[in-house]
Structure 1
């Protein structure tokens, strides 16, 4: 089973979606409108887990009605995401933190997993997730310290490696060292990075790369990642 742990599925055309059939996808959202579209897509696309929420880049413009709208969608969603904080946007950090905390409380209340954006704020995100007693968390496109990755794994959470590991050396190094019990793979499609348009179709190539880096068979890696995907998003 090929599984993409973090993808903005609503960003793909209908024609592109046809080409993604057979791939299990955790589809994340960026705002209320995106969340509604993701839920609708999940109703008609087999193998889609819909995540709702407000991205930290959108936090500065969030109104109370937006947070209430997200809450109304949570019962029908697989989880909350893409949520978190971004250390590159310190000018909006106070609002980012407020929106993130509100959504973590929803995750705890409704017992939902979270799909996290924690760029340059990895430790702060982990601390908040632990404080809010969230059941399951995925740290998407992880580029933080190796020792922190060990801590994240030790708490039973998950770390996803992006298809950009093909061109992002630091990320590839982490792909070789993250504890297997926590390893997931993702595309973050249709994001564009260093000339790559990322899509779930790149996941098989990413699995090949990771299996080579770790010196294990592609089959055993795919099996382990599939089990992690199930445990992270569908419950142990």
Structure 2
């Protein structure tokens, strides 16, 4: 069991005792770090506090798109808060487009404000020279690619990506990274993405505390589940397991400049 890094987890959404347990087991599970992404300002504040308490926690500050848009005042306050703490943030994220929220609300849903918000965060990531963590799946991924290309941002991580072959080829050609979740063990869709995407631009994540099914049904999502996902990636890529472990680990170190 070689070293790994959970490249996308909402650590601040876990209960205090769960956080203590997870961080106390880092050495035991050979986990070198957690990229803890944020949902909004309060979430960002909690992740910052966790990063100060635990050296293995690397915080990303952002506004998750699967929620109502912030007011102009709320957004200005959030960006001002981030600006004052640029040196403390590992990345901008989680940001993106509201694919699931839009499907839930139907044809009348207004996407424009979310596109503008994403573009604002992309511009901040470029100005601050920080990686950006994206929630952009299916039809939203090309829209995110348009904005990244417009602003010449290449250090982009599409977490738990799902999309078509054409978009996969476009993202890979741009040098964008994706991350694979434990559902690779039972989801054919994720297996197909893993087969197609270059291993040199791949990481692994849990997106915890989001819960998984299959062999993980009924279990709290834990970074240790990554050790189940990596052998599945190795089998699909027909690559020796030690090589896959080392590549995924080094990819994450390189992308997040750890």
Task: Say yes or no: TM over 0.5.
Answer: yes
Q: Does 1:155 align with 2:174?
A: yes
Q: 2:122 aligns with which of 100, 104, 115?
A: 104
Distance 1:71 1:117 in 2: 22
Other-structure match for 2:229: 206
Q: Does 1:48 align with 2:54?
A: no
| Residues 5 and 160, structure 1, Cα contact 8 Å, conserved in 2 | yes
Other-structure match for 2:105: none
Other-structure match for 2:83: 71
Give the count of matched residue pairs. 235
Decide which structure has the larger Cα Rg and report it: 2
| Residues 153 and 181, structure 1, Cα contact 8 Å, conserved in 2 | no
1:156-171 alignment, distance < 5 Å: 156-171=175-190
1:12-31 alignment, distance < 5 Å: 12=14, 13=18, 14-21=20-27, 22-23=30-31, 24-31=33-40
Distance 2:66 2:79 in 1: 15
| Residues 9 and 189, structure 1, Cα contact 8 Å, conserved in 2 | yes
Distance 1:66 1:59 in 2: 15
Q: What is the CA-CA distance between 1:135 and the residue it aligns to?
A: 4.3
Residue ranges of structure 2 left out of the alignment (5+ in a row): 103-108
Q: RMSD value over aligned CA atoms? A: 1.9
Other-structure match for 1:225: 248
Distance 1:66 1:29 in 2: 12
Other-structure match for 1:7: 9
| Residues 112 and 135, structure 1, Cα contact 8 Å, conserved in 2 | no
Q: 2:199 aligns with which of 180, 184, 204?
A: 180
Q: Does 1:142 align with 2:161?
A: yes
Residue 82 of structure 1: SS of its match in structure 2?
strand
Distance 1:134 1:59 in 2: 26
| Residues 85 and 96, structure 1, Cα contact 8 Å, conserved in 2 | yes
| Residues 176 and 213, structure 1, Cα contact 8 Å, conserved in 2 | yes
Q: What is the CA-CA distance between 1:185 and the residue it aligns to?
A: 0.9
TM-score, normalising length: structure 2: 0.84
Worse overlay, 103-112 or 35-44: 35-44
Distance 2:78 2:90 in 1: 19
Distance 1:73 1:95 in 2: 25
Distance 1:71 1:94, change over 3 A: farther
Distance 2:153 2:65 in 1: 18
| Residues 111 and 134, structure 1, Cα contact 8 Å, conserved in 2 | no
| Residues 59 and 90, structure 2, Cα contact 8 Å, conserved in 1 | yes
Residue 112 of structure 2: SS of its match in structure 1?
helix
| Residues 163 and 202, structure 1, Cα contact 8 Å, conserved in 2 | yes
